[in-house]
A and B are shown apart, each in its own frame.
Chain A
Amino acid sequence: MESYLYQGLVGLTYSMYLWLLAAGLTIAFGVLGVLNFSHGALFMLGAYLAFTIYGVFGINFWLAVLISALGVALVGAVMERFFFRHIYRLELPFQLLLTYGLVLVIDDVVKIIWGGAFLVPPIPPLLDGAVPLFGRPFPVYNLFILAVGVLVGVLIWLLFDKTWWGKMVRAAAWSREMGATLGMNVPRVFTLVFMFAAALAALGGALSIPMRPVSPGLGIAMIVQAFIVTVIGGLGNLQGAFLGAIIVGMLTTYSTMLFPLFELFLPYVLMAAVLILRPQGLLGGR
């Protein structure tokens, strides 16, 4: 029994990475209306930037995470301003393909800059070590990730539901024309929202480097996980993304433990089942 609880916490840690990843994807989809294939690539870019600043130049881990989030937000600004802005009115296939083209570009640029190797930096000293939980040592870093996940969730909720800025964004998402009529600079709002989404992806990537190696395949692997999570919770629904992240994290952890043969298979089954039975997702409204 204790080992199940212990594994549950390990699974929740994974859930929090999925949440950080899926939150940005959901926000970008909910506001801009584009499902961004390159969101996983931004996660990866965040991981590589943080790795370089922290692992190579030896600069403070926290600073590295912050710089990487800001850096990727700037990349996001360029992406929105020069590419996404032109596709909002296009049909779905063209939107998806543009973001897929960006995946190809970012993945290759990452290979040019960092090469193809797997890179693993050490855990930052402040968060190294473990505390006993359920009869086994549990890494402090995992607890930290759990806290960050919840904290980011609360901050996003406050930002979108309680602030003037959040109201503006929701209004612009609901109707671009209405937003513009009310005097909003809607294009700028969209750029800022996309920067925020990109920064969230980078935050997840940067925080993941002490736990999993960084390699050029990371973005491709993560984006499918993000799709599973957001589809299960409901595309464009933030609470849904949080719930989806928890479900997928737990499912992956417990199926690895109980029936490892199906660990890869089951999340896709769940995703397909939700799409067939309830396409709007578990928490989707319409």
Chain B
Amino acid sequence: MRSDWRIVMFALVGAAVLFTAPLWTGAFGVYLLMQMMLLCIFALGFNLLLGYTGLLSFGQAGFFAVGAYVCALILLKAPSLLLGIAGGIVAAGLVALVLGYLSVKLTEIYFSMLTLSFGMMIHSLVWRWRDVTGGDDGLTGIPRAPLQLPGVSIDLSRLSSYYYFMLVATVLAVWVMHRIVRSPLGLTFQAIRDSAVRAEFVGISIRRFRLWAFVIAGLYAGLAGAMVAPLERTITPTYAHWVASAEPVLAALIGGLYVFAGPIVGAVLFIGIKEIVVRATDHWMLVMGAVVIAIVLGFRGGVLGTILRWTERGEEGKP
């Protein structure tokens, strides 16, 4: 196992950098870090489905959008941040439960196509249900409501205060996911990924566990979506489009599908590469496309998986 001092050092340095970030970087740097955290949560949930359970969903943006719109609608009516975020997560989880129930009967390309169509249904619903969602104009003026805890109300209207809220949420989300994949539940997911037939023979109800993974991925997408609403203060149907569903897929691929921290590293790299390339040229898609192609053709373990293999410290699952 890798519970040695290097991991502890990495974690300490990372925590120090993240907790002091608003002190040494400007509003833009903080905003960039927040983008990375959102994609990190989104991709971490997604990868429980792909990397740990073997199901490629192309509709995760739908759950992200459910989280974002429900949170926004709550905040526009009742300005309490926790209420909004909890509402977004629960709504996304419920939608994932229903759609997941229908989806996990299928696998491979059929599962990908079904999730794609569900995601696009949510997209067209958001696009056309103008009375509630504002149609293609989206919802605007979403308040960055105060965080009301028993006895205190913390003002989060400043970007740096909201940053700390998101940081705590992200750390919690990563910790919970880490617990999940090390639990019997997580091991069951990996057993299903490695061989559905064998898993069934030892008495695992494959569909039920796939549904679990689907719902957890939906909850994570919902959390990321719910947190985006008060951050951006404006949300539009593009959040639900299948092109948005590709982002967590690419982040997980770049970081590494079969390593726990893959999606985290991938989210940082995805947002980082995009930012650097956009500064130099308009053509970040070209660069991202080339990166994706290179990874598929040569480095399927992703950046982290490849590094781990080079240093012969790979511990988890498949090559």
On A, residues with C-beta under 8 Å from B are: 35, 83, 86-87, 90, 92-94, 96-98, 100-105, 107-109, 111-112, 220, 224, 227-228, 231, 235, 261-262, 264-265, 268-269, 271-272, 275-276, 279
Contacts and interface: CB of A to CB of B under 8 A. Distances in A.
Contacts of B118: 268, 272
Contact of B117 (A100, A228, A235): A228
Interface in B106-141: 106, 108-110, 112-114, 116-118, 120-121, 124-125, 127-128
B106 A279 contact: yes
B113 A275 contact: yes
Contacts of A112: 283, 286
A35 B112 CA distance: 11
B292 interface: yes
B17 interface: no
Given A94-B300, A231-B117, 6 more contacts: A96-B109, A100-B246, A100-B250, A112-B283, A265-B125, A279-B110
B296 A97 contact: yes
Contacts of A102: 289, 293
Interface of B: 50, 56, 102, 105-106, 108-110, 112-114, 116-118, 120-121, 124-125, 127-128, 242-243, 246, 249-250, 253, 257, 282-283, 285-286, 288-293, 296-297, 300
A283 to B, nearest CB: 16
Contacts of A227: 113, 116
B292 A101 contact: yes
A97 B297 CA distance: 10
Q: Is chain A's binding surface mostly helix, strand, loop or mixed?
A: helix
A109 B242 CA distance: 21
A35 B114 contact: no
Contacts of B285: 104-105, 107-108
Contacts of B290: 101, 105
Given A92-B108, A93-B50, A97-B249, A268 B113 contact: no
A118 B286 CA distance: 21
A96 B128 contact: no
A268 B124 contact: yes
B283 to A, nearest CB: 5
B242 A224 contact: yes
Contact of A90 (B105, B113, B296): B296
A262 B120 contact: no
B116 A100 contact: no
Contacts of A271: 113, 117
B292 A97 contact: yes
B105 A276 contact: yes
